[in-house]
């Protein structure tokens, strides 16, 4: 199911966007041209796609979403490690 979601997502990303699926079932997105409103729209679109892809009601899965909009949410002392921890905490 995640593969189908990633395929669908890849069709709607910009050329500058990047999408990666990690072994722990996370989908990582880098969306350099995305603001807060576009991110909220994408979150809703992903939730809708995910709901439509769930065909077996016995195997319901949850879609969790964590995001950080840069540079708006970037603190002066943040580095890549801190950003990843912040995103991980958002979906934990």
Distance CA 49, CA 34 (A): 19
pLDDT digits (tens, 9 = 90+) for 61-73: 777 777 777 777 7
Averaged confidence pLDDT in the chain: 80
For residues 59 and 50, the model is more confident at: 50
pLDDT at 12: 81
pTM (predicted TM-score): 0.67
C-alpha angle with apex 74: 71 to 76, nearest 5 degrees?
Answer: 120
List pLDDT tens digits, range 5-30.
778 888 888 888 888 777 777 778 88
Q: Where are the domains of the chain?
A: 2-65
Taking the C-alpha atoms of residue 63 and residue 60, their distance in angstroms, rounded to an integer, is 10
> Closest by alpha carbon to 33, among 52, 14, 5?
14
Name the band, by pLDDT with cuts 50, 70 and 90, for residue 58: low
């Amino acid at each position: 199911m995640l593969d189908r979601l990633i395929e669908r997502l890849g069709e709607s990303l910009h050329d500058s966007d990047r999408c990666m699926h990690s072994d722990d079932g996370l989908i990582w997105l880098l969306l350099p041209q995305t603001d807060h409103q576009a991110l909220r729209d994408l979150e809703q679109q992903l939730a809708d796609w995910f709901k439509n892809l769930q065909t077996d009601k016995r195997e319901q899965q949850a879609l969790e979403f964590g995001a950080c909009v840069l540079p708006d949410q970037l603190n002066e002392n943040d580095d890549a490690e801190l950003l990843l921890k912040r995103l991980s905490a958002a979906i934990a």
